[in-house]
Amino acid sequence: MNATLALVAITLTVAAAVLVGAFGNRLSRTTSDFYVASRAVSPGLNASAIGGEYLSAASFLGVAGLVLAYGVDMLWYPVGYTVGYLLLLVLVAAPLRRSGAFTIPDFAQGRLRSMGVRRAASLLVVVIGWLYLIPQMHGAGLTLRTILGSPTWVGIVVVAGVVLVAVAGGGMRSITLVQAFQYWLKLFAIAVPVFFLVAAWRADGAPEVLTEVPPEFRERTTVTLSADTLIRVEESVVVDADGTLDGRPEDGAVQLPAGEYEVSAGSTLVFPAGATVPTVSSLPTLSGPEWAFPLSNGQDQPLYRVYSLMIALFFGTMGLPHVLVRFYTNPDGQAARRTTLTVLGLVGVFYLAPPIYGSLGRLYTPELLLTGRTDAVVLALPGALVGGTIGQLLSAVVAAGAFAAFLSTSSGLVVSIAGVLSQDVLSARLGSPVRSFRVATAFAVVVPVLLALGGQRLGIASMVGLAFAVAASSFCPLLLLGIWWPRLTSRGAIAGLAVGGGLSALAVLTTIMLGPTGGWTGALLAQPAAWTMPLAFVTMIVVSLLTPSHIPPGVRRIMVRLHTPESLDLDRGQNLTGRGGRWP
Amino acid sequence: MTDPVAPRRVVVKGPTRTHPVERAVPGGREIDEQTGVGEAYMGSLMRTQLRLALKVLAMVLVPLALLPLIFAAFPLIAELMVGPVPLPWLILGVGVYPVLVFVGWRFIRQVERNEAEFERIVSQR
């Protein structure tokens, strides 16, 4: 692939982010500047900004990658990301805006009048934010590797560096217009190539995606493996090898009977046209029907996994740290609802595209199943299918879109994490709020970088699914009960956050550290939401009922604030903003 | 990519309010003073809104939750082809999204009607 165009496109995206970080500092100096500027914009622009922040590497790269590898069941990911906004709309959006809280810890403290709940919520913001940041870093590493062939850590360090500079320098999120622009850039970058891809597929005679057999190489294909890889050959094949197979150096034609082979890093295999694509041992080899029809993709307990994933995504969206803060930029509760509905539409339109990439990838980039880097399908497909100058242009466009996705989501998350770290952990120790915010930013970036470099390599969208599982098991019950159930107590909230957040985080960490495992244990650990979310609800409710003396004073007034329209002249007590001006 | 329109500076203030004020709306005082009537107003508002929210969610979540079971129980449905595309792809890849937006739109109409009704009742007393 000619990398120059893509590199130019990425550089422009990155430069824009850094410049905006620098100018953002001058344009919006204080918290209220940020919010007031945002209030001068329309709900449509506001919704674009939310969409720009929400569509991350998981949406841009991960969904298509999962569809390529596992097929139709993975469509629940984009459906879940969108249904999450419907739940946010009907249960949370207006009351949360009316609460006046900027962040979940603010809401928790204001609603329950308890510093303990605030601390528990702050800890969870950091955990969820870091879990969500790791796959963004992986996505950046993968993108630069696909385009330039650079080692994975290069992309990780580049994105981390840009986010660090942009956020510590002024916060790129401070400008609604830029986040809104990021949404439209991402939509353009993923949607426009689709038309060219489909046209090229039709010009190719519209070959069947749904064939009876696993994917085949359509033409003589050269595959270079950049890491030691265990591959599974389904059908005996003669390859032209240059490298090390099962520890033996090979140079020339080799017959590979069906079986598993250890291929060393740097080896090159040339497959003849029509050969069945061997699969990396961590992915299933699926025939067309197994891939195209539900619940047959070779994972253990597919039905449980689908349901648990649905619970995590449906109920997790409302608890994502970078989503909530933008609700404050709506003038009132009704505007918050309308903005949320617009986001629902914008996000839904975006998700029409990734399944098309994943499907066409079965035909035109099947070698990704062999290297295991299925998340690269969005990046690789335009070059492989369209080709020529147009193919290079399209590759550059998707690469820029992918970087926009990493940068906007990562900076939103880093601002949220750094805000919590600096206010609740560092500011007492460091004194100056600006200094503590900068130290916190560095900390917020460095930890997920280390985890991304060290941990097991899970799919980008699966990894993001884990962050949703923790959010669904902790902040979802906190928000829903906090908004709709006056009898929630601080004790109940803390117990529920500890049980739900603790257990789901534990399950997730086990999966990250040990890698995915099979059987019921593997399914329960890889998709914990189905058991941790109900457990969190039950704990919060039972403990609250047992500690009625801890119902916060003034809860009636708070309910008035949360649920009555602003146009009514009523005594609503104080904003639930915790300790006043919160944002650095 | 700088912001071409410099944001206008506006002073933001919370409603400054010294204690008990005569409410323009009579029911407002009942809510402010948390009398039995005021509590009844609030309880009824929250119940109405929660019932609406749960109804909307049931309309969306129940069919969605049934889908995997239907696919598991009836392979004929799961493997039904609509032209070149299997039915599950059409439902999950395309069909869900307009339904979600439509349901959300209807919800907003109803929830705003509920709020207007609440204002009307509170003002009437």
Q: Give the mutation candidate from B19, B62, B108 for the A interface (greatest A CB count, under 10 A).
A: B108
Give the best-scoring range by mean pLDDT among A25-34, A168-177, A435-444. Answer: A435-444
**DSSP secondary structure of A31-56:** HHHHHHHHHTS-HHHHHHHHHHHH--
**Is the separation of the CB atoms in A385 and A391 below 8 Å?**
yes
Residue B39: list chain A partners with CB under 8 A. Answer: 556
Burial-class residue A247 by CB neighbours within 10 Å (0-12, 13-18, 19+): exposed
When the pLDDT of each residue in chain A is averaged and rounded to a whole number, the result is: 87
Do residues A67 and A176 share a domain? yes
Residue A339: list chain B partners with CB under 8 A. Answer: none
- Residue A446 has a CB neighbour count (10 Å cut-off) of 12
What ipTM describes this predicted complex?
Answer: 0.91
Domain residues for the domain of B111 are 26-124
- DSSP class of residue A374 equals G
What is the tens place of the pLDDT at every residue in A530-569? Answer: 999 999 999 999 999 999 999 998 899 999 999 999 888 8
Do residues A254 and A197 share a domain? no
3-state class (DSSP) for residue A515? coil
What is the tens place of the pLDDT at every residue in A337-354? Answer: 999 999 999 999 999 999
Summarize the confidence of residues A490-505 as an average pLDDT: 96
Nearest to A166 by CA among A567, A444, A424, A394: A444
Residue among A39, A76, A570 whose CB faces B92 most closely: A76
Q: How far is residue A535's CA from residue A8's CA, in Å, rounded to a whole number?
A: 50
Domains in chain B, number? 1
Q: Is residue B100 part of a domain?
A: yes
**Alpha-carbon dihedral A541, A543, A544, A549, rounded to 10 degrees:** 170
Q: Specify the pLDDT at position B38.
A: 87
Domain residues for the domain of A244 are 221-276
Do residues A88 and A189 share a domain? yes
Nearest to A333 by CA among A26, A27, A5, A43: A43
Contact B23 A293 (CB under 8 A): no
Question: Would the pLDDT of A431 be above 70?
Answer: no
- Helices A388-421 and A152-169, axial angle in degrees (round to 10): 50
Contact A337 B32 (CB under 8 A): no
Residue B112: list chain A partners with CB under 8 A. Answer: 334, 337
Both structure tokens of A371: 């290297």
**Is the separation of the CB atoms in A24 and A171 below 8 Å?**
yes
φ, ψ (nearest 5 deg) of residue A240: -95, 105
Question: Would the pLDDT of A321 be above 90?
Answer: no
Summarize the confidence of residues A124-138 as an average pLDDT: 92
Beta A259-263 vs A229-233: how paired, if at all?
antiparallel
Q: How far is residue A552's CA from residue A487's CA, in Å, rounded to a whole number?
A: 9
φ, ψ (nearest 5 deg) of residue A245: -120, 125
Contact B61 A37 (CB under 8 A): no
CA neighbours closer than 13 Å in the CB half-sphere of residue A335: 21
Domains in chain A, number? 2
Q: How far is residue A46's CA from residue A53's CA, in Å, rounded to a whole number?
A: 11
Helix residue ranges, H only, A455-528: 460-484, 490-496, 502-514, 519-526
Nearest to A196 by CA among A12, A356, A2: A356
Q: Is residue A489 part of a domain?
A: no
Contact B101 A344 (CB under 8 A): yes
Chain pair A-B, CB pairs under 8 angstroms: 169
Q: Specify the pLDDT at position A36.
A: 42
Q: How far is residue A568's CA from residue B24's CA, in Å, rounded to a whole number?
A: 9
Closest CA–CA distance from residue B56 to any residue of chain A (Å):
8
Residue of A nearest to B8 (CA): A37
Residue A89: list chain B partners with CB under 8 A. Answer: 104, 107-108
Q: Specify the pLDDT at position A162.
A: 86
Q: Is residue A541 part of a domain?
A: no
**Is the separation of the CB atoms in A121 and A111 below 8 Å?**
no
Residue of B nearest to A305 (CA): B68
Nearest to A133 by CA among A432, A416, A532, A487: A416
The distance from CA A455 to its chain's CA centroid, rounded to whole angstroms, is 17
Q: How far is residue A422's CA from residue A434's CA, in Å, rounded to a whole number?
A: 9
Do residues A108 and A192 share a domain? yes
**Is the separation of the CB atoms in A61 and A288 below 8 Å?**
no
The secondary structure of A65-115, three-state, reads HHHHHHCHHHHHHHHHHHHHHHHHHHHHHHHHHHHCCCCHHHHHHHHHCCH
Residue among A295, A337, A565 whose CB faces B72 most closely: A295
Burial-class residue A260 by CB neighbours within 10 Å (0-12, 13-18, 19+): exposed
Dihedral sign, CA of A342, A345, A351, A353?
Answer: negative
Q: Specify the pLDDT at position A578.
A: 47
Contact A86 B118 (CB under 8 A): no
Residue of A nearest to B111 (CA): A90
**Alpha-carbon dihedral A524, A527, A533, A536, rounded to 10 degrees:** 60
Contact A345 B101 (CB under 8 A): yes
Q: Is residue A520 part of a domain?
A: no
Q: Is residue A560 part of a domain?
A: no
Give the best-scoring range by mean pLDDT among A278-292, A407-421, A481-495. Answer: A481-495
Residue of A nearest to B117 (CA): A565
Q: Specify the pLDDT at position A329.
A: 76
Q: Is residue A562 part of a domain?
A: no
φ, ψ (nearest 5 deg) of residue A145: -65, -40
* pLDDT over 90, % of chain A: 54
Summarize the confidence of residues A478-506 as an average pLDDT: 96
Contact B7 A334 (CB under 8 A): no
Q: Give the mutation candidate from A198, A407, A481, A568 for the B interface (greatest B CB count, under 10 A).
A: A568
Q: Any idea which of A175-179, A244-248, A493-497 has the lowest mean pLDDT?
A: A175-179
**Is the separation of the CB atoms in A68 and A374 below 8 Å?**
yes
Range A274-303 burial, b when 16+ CB lie within 10 A, else e: ebbbbbbeebbbbebebbbbbbbbebebbe
Both structure tokens of B78: 């799961």
Do residues A194 and A259 share a domain? no
Going by C-beta distance under 8 Å and a sequence separation of 6 or more, which residues neighbour residue A52?
Answer: A179, A180, A181, A182, A183, A184, A186, A408
Q: Specify the pLDDT at position A422.
A: 82
Closest CA–CA distance from residue A239 to any residue of chain B (Å):
34
Q: Is residue A463 part of a domain?
A: no
Q: Is residue B14 part of a domain?
A: no
Q: Is residue A120 part of a domain?
A: yes
Do residues A14 and A128 share a domain? yes
Residue among A86, A292, A560 whose CB faces B42 most closely: A560
Q: How far is residue A524's CA from residue A215's CA, in Å, rounded to a whole number?
A: 30
Question: Would the pLDDT of A29 be above 60?
Answer: no
Residue A484: list chain B partners with CB under 8 A. Answer: 46, 50
Residue among B3, B69, B94 whose CB faces A177 most closely: B3
Helix (H) or strand (E) holding A251: strand A248-256
Q: How far is residue A24's CA from residue A166's CA, in Å, rounded to a whole number?
A: 9
Q: How far is residue A18's CA from residue A38's CA, in Å, rounded to a whole number?
A: 21
Which residues of chain B have a pLDDT value below 50? 1-3, 18
Q: Is residue B68 part of a domain?
A: yes
Closest CA–CA distance from residue A447 to any residue of chain B (Å):
30
Do residues A113 and A172 share a domain? yes
Residue among A76, A85, A556 whose CB faces B34 most closely: A556
Q: How far is residue A528's CA from residue A315's CA, in Å, rounded to a whole number?
A: 13
- Domain-terminating residue out of A440, A457, A474: A457
Contact A294 B78 (CB under 8 A): yes
Q: Is residue A519 part of a domain?
A: no
Nearest to A137 by CA among A61, A75, A41: A61
Residue of A nearest to B110 (CA): A90
Helix (H) or strand (E) holding A419: helix A388-421
Q: Is residue B8 part of a domain?
A: no
What is the tens place of the pLDDT at every residue in A87-117? Answer: 999 999 999 999 988 789 989 999 999 999 9
Length reported for chain B: 125
Contact A90 B57 (CB under 8 A): yes
Contact B79 A289 (CB under 8 A): yes
Residue among B2, B46, B56 whose CB faces A563 most closely: B46
Q: Give the mutation candidate from B52, B89, B103 for the A interface (greatest A CB count, under 10 A).
A: B89
Contact B49 A563 (CB under 8 A): yes
Tokens 């409710």 -> residue: A541
Nearest to A376 by CA among A65, A150, A138, A7: A65
The CATH number assigned to the domain holding A393 equals: 1.20.1730.10
Q: Is residue B43 part of a domain?
A: yes
Q: Specify the pLDDT at position A317.
A: 93
Contact A20 B64 (CB under 8 A): no
The Cα-based distances of A111 to A431, A545, A574, A579, B7 in angstroms read 28, 17, 10, 13, 32
Dihedral sign, CA of A444, A445, A449, A452?
Answer: positive
Q: Any idea which of A34-38, A240-244, A420-424, A463-467 has the lowest mean pLDDT?
A: A34-38
Do residues A136 and A74 share a domain? yes
Residue B43: list chain A partners with CB under 8 A. Answer: none
Q: How far is residue A307's CA from residue A317's CA, in Å, rounded to a whole number?
A: 16
Contact A575 B92 (CB under 8 A): no
**Is the separation of the CB atoms in A168 and A145 below 8 Å?**
no
The secondary structure of A300-327, three-state, reads CCHHHHHHHHHHHHHHHHHHCHHHHHHH
